[in-house]
């Protein structure tokens, strides 16, 4: 046995039988709290594997992300999510200030580079969208096709980053600009006049 003293107490520690180069080790057992942490970690790991990897109690990251996206879209789009992409959907958006405002925001962030801040057109880039003449559009749904696919000459690129409801909103906003007649650059008034679009469907966004 080896004994050492300090100013406060006297302690005895057992020596091990290990002796390395004249150095003999004290036999210091692992503290109890360390054992508790180790046992707790083993129990937690078993619980984690069973709950996370072997059952569906806790959703996966992908499921959680999809749920959050769906919830955000529900707030933003409401019943538009369940409406087919057709003229009725565009007219419904045109009749709702909130959805039309969202379409304007999408337009401002995506389309003004070529069509101008007021959709008045930029010579050599984009047509004036506020007059009564159209080059690639003969009916309202043609606007949707242009947003999704662009034009064959690639001057109008396909807007691949927009989801279906965002496409509908920005297309409806563009349709609502018809006849506002913002003066554009010289030569921007091109195309042919087409029949008027149907009147917007006015109803509550949550209805």
Domains in the chain: how many in total?
A: 2
Tell whether 25 and 91 lie within a shared domain: no
pLDDT value of residue 184: 84
pLDDT value of residue 205: 45
pLDDT tens, residue by residue, 129-187: 999 989 999 999 999 999 999 998 888 999 999 999 999 999 999 999 999 999 887 65
Closest CA to 99 of 181, 180, 200: 200
Report if residue 203 sits inside a domain: no
Report if residue 189 sits inside a domain: yes
CATH number at residue 100: 1.10.760.10
Report if residue 67 sits inside a domain: no
Alpha carbon distance 59, 55 (integer Å): 9
pLDDT 10s per residue in the chain (207 long)?
Answer: 444 444 444 445 566 676 667 777 776 778 889 999 999 999 999 888 887 777 666 667 777 776 776 677 666 677 888 899 999 999 999 999 989 999 999 999 999 999 999 999 988 888 999 999 899 999 999 999 999 999 988 889 999 999 999 999 999 999 999 999 998 876 556 788 999 999 999 875 444
Report if residue 8 sits inside a domain: yes
Report if residue 202 sits inside a domain: no
Tell whether 135 and 183 lie within a shared domain: yes
Tell whether 104 and 182 lie within a shared domain: yes
Tell whether 114 and 181 lie within a shared domain: yes
Tell whether 39 and 101 lie within a shared domain: no
Q: Provide the residue range defining the domain that includes 7.
A: 2-53
């Amino acid at each position: 046995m080896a004994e050492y003293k300090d100013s406060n107490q006297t302690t005895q520690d057992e020596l091990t039988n290990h002796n390395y180069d004249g150095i003999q080790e004290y036999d210091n057992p692992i503290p109890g709290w360390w054992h508790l942490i180790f046992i707790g970690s083993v129990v937690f790991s078993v619980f984690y594997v069973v709950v996370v990897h072997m059952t569906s109690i806790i959703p996966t990251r992908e499921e959680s992300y999809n749920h959050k996206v769906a919830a955000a879209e529900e707030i933003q789009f409401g019943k538009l999510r369940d409406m087919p992409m057709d003229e009725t959907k565009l007219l419904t958006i045109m009749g709702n200030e909130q959805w039309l405002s969202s379409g304007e925001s999408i337009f401002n962030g995506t389309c003004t580079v070529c069509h101008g801040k007021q959709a008045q057109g930029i010579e050599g880039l984009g047509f004036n969208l506020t007059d009564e003449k159209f080059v690639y559009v003969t009916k309202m749904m043609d606007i949707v096709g242009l947003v999704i696919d662009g034009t064959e000459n690639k001057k109008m690129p396909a807007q691949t980053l927009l989801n279906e409801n965002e496409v509908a909103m920005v297309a409806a906003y563009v349709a609502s600009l018809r006849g506002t007649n913002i003066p554009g650059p010289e030569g921007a008034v091109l195309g042919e006049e087409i029949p008027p679009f149907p009147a917007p469907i006015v109803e509550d966004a949550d209805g």
